[in-house]
Amino acid sequence: MAQVTNFREAGFQSVLDELEWRGLIAQSTDRDRLKKALDGAPLSFYCGFDPTAASLHIGNLVQILVMRHLQEAGHHPFVLVGGATGLIGDPRQSGERKLNPAATVQQWTEKLRAQIGKYLRTDGSNPAVFLNNYDWTSKLSAIDFLRDVGKNFRVGTMLSKDIIARRIKSDEGISFAEFSYQILQGNDFLHLYESHHVTLETGGNDQWGNLTSGLDLIRHVHGVDVNVMTSPIITDSQGKKFGKSEGNAMWLNPDMLSPYRFYQFWFNQPDDQVIKLLKAFTFLPKARIEQIAADQKADPGAREAQRILADEVTSFVHGREATDEAVATSQALFGRGNTTLDSIDADTLEAALDGLKNVKAADGSLEFAPAHAGEGIAKAAHDAGLFPSISQAIKAVRQGGVYLNNVRVSDPDQKLTENDFLGGRFVLIRRGKKSLAALEARQ
């Protein structure tokens, strides 16, 4: 389990102050009421994760980080993996979700529970408690659901929720199942309040309408004010949400996204985003981040802020050993460090080279350039996309600017041999210090 600082060690008077400084609060109920609750005796809070895939992604990681901050502040975390709500799925911005088989949802529920357990403490005075809303939702008959839960909701209020209103106006419309999702989530909060005295729910900002459904339900049933708060939605440089529905999910499961590619994702963040991401995605103290920001401003070319970001987040998600291996692999690809290309295991090498697919296929997708023993180095460099023409590749080889598996070549007629294919599959060709491409053995 990663070592994590609490708000006092990070230099803050309260955990809410720290979350706000880190940019992890988008909306909340009355701030004074929320701050009083968080500054008082330890409270119980929860966040829900629907098993709509076999892994969480970095959008979910934001919520895990918020939970860990609150846990380190002494509060009691309840992790709700939605075996019931995952069978339906919350409404998307456009179009209905695909309903997954019940057996698949159950399998994913267990995977997510195990995954989240790596990031929250499960021991001590306030260990994470894991729950599955299928345990209580499945016991409700249709009549019970309508009489005991549905009667407390007003259709006008439900229709006014932003995403519901948007979907109703769209060509696709919205099904009754997805329309009712907010009732199910509201009932979860009510159940946790009644059974575990949970008084705070956290989630992504796109869940605001669902979170307030539970707040309103508890007030209606018990006359009690509880709290909710949301975190901003993390987007890429084009403003797209990092999520599986956008096709650019950065998975936390190393079998779905290698630690190497995960590390490179953070290392390649632009200068104007890296400090914001350091605040949100690491537990580094405020003073340390401010020093990193000053160093970056003085020497942005060093990319030290990106290196620290990649190291911190990858270590938290995948552990120190996997992070060190990712760094060593990255250095080996460019002929730096003590790790040689032929010492990298096949799976790690393939994962690392996956990010070098830079040759357009006939259908417009990206793929490895094919090569075979006996092909000339200049033609191979051109085929890999490093040069616009073979003549330019020949010129660069003669000038000593081309490397084969990190070894400089000088003869443009040099042929690839079977021994050049690492693991029998890949050849690396580099132009200068930074332009790298991979070729795959032609079958």
Topology at the third CATH level for domain 15-244: Rossmann fold (3.40.50)
For residues 125 and 18, give the distance between their C-alpha atoms in angstroms, rounded to a whole number.
22
pLDDT over threshold 60, residue 247: no
Q: 394 burial class (0-12, 13-18, 19+ CB within 10 angstroms)?
A: buried
For residues 411 and 85, give the distance between their C-alpha atoms in angstroms, rounded to a whole number.
63
Q: What is the mean pLDDT of residues 228-254?
A: 77
pLDDT over threshold 60, residue 306: yes
pLDDT digits (tens, 9 = 90+) for 38-50: 999 999 999 999 9
DSSP annotation of 334:
T
pLDDT over threshold 90, residue 175: no
Between 195 and 100, whose confidence is greater? 195
Beta bridge partners of 430: 403, 436
CB-based contact 423:353 (threshold 8 Å): no
| Those residues with Cβ within 8 angstroms of residue 271's Cβ, 6 or more apart along the chain or in another chain | 296, 300, 305
Residue keyed to tokens 């090498």:
349
Q: What is the mean pLDDT of residues 228-241?
A: 82
pLDDT over threshold 90, residue 338: no
Supply the pLDDT for residue 2: 61
Q: What is the mean pLDDT of residues 171-197?
A: 92
For residues 217 and 228, give the distance between their C-alpha atoms in angstroms, rounded to a whole number.
13
Helices 162-169 & 208-222 angle (0-180, nearest 10): 120
Radius of gyration of the chain (CA): 26
Domain 258-337 has CATH 3.40.50.10680: no
Tell me the two tokens of residue 211: 């979170």
| 399: amino acid identity, one letter | Q
Q: Considering only CA atoms, which of 360, 417, 412 is closest in space to residue 381?
A: 412
* Sign of the alpha-carbon dihedral angle for 381, 384, 388, 389: positive
Q: Considering only CA atoms, which of 177, 180, 201, 179 is closest in space to residue 189?
A: 201
- Cα 40 to its chain centre, rounded Å, is 32
Topology at the third CATH level for domain 356-443: 3.10.290
Between 390 and 89, whose confidence is greater? 390
Q: What is the mean pLDDT of residues 320-329?
A: 90
Range with the poorest average pLDDT among 60-64, 106-110, 154-158, 355-359: 355-359
pLDDT digits (tens, 9 = 90+) for 125-167: 999 999 999 999 999 999 999 999 999 989 888 888 888 888 8
* Residue 76: strand, helix, or coil: strand
Q: What are phi and psi of 129, to 5 degrees?
A: -110, 130
Topology alike, domains 15-244 and 356-443: no
* All structural domains of the chain with their residue ranges: 15-244, 258-337, 356-443
For residues 131 and 134, give the distance between their C-alpha atoms in angstroms, rounded to a whole number.
9
pLDDT over threshold 90, residue 441: no
272 torsion bin: left (phi>0), alpha (psi -120 to 50), beta (else): alpha
pLDDT tier for residue 342 given thresholds of 50, 70 and 90: confident
Supply the pLDDT for residue 165: 86
Supply the pLDDT for residue 369: 61
Supply the pLDDT for residue 343: 79
Mean of the per-residue pLDDT values of the chain = 88
CB-based contact 100:52 (threshold 8 Å): yes
For residues 137 and 146, give the distance between their C-alpha atoms in angstroms, rounded to a whole number.
12
Strand-pair category, 402-404 with 426-431: antiparallel
Q: What is the mean pLDDT of residues 315-320?
A: 96
For residues 266 and 324, give the distance between their C-alpha atoms in angstroms, rounded to a whole number.
15
Supply the pLDDT for residue 360: 46
Strand-pair category, 359-360 with 366-367: antiparallel
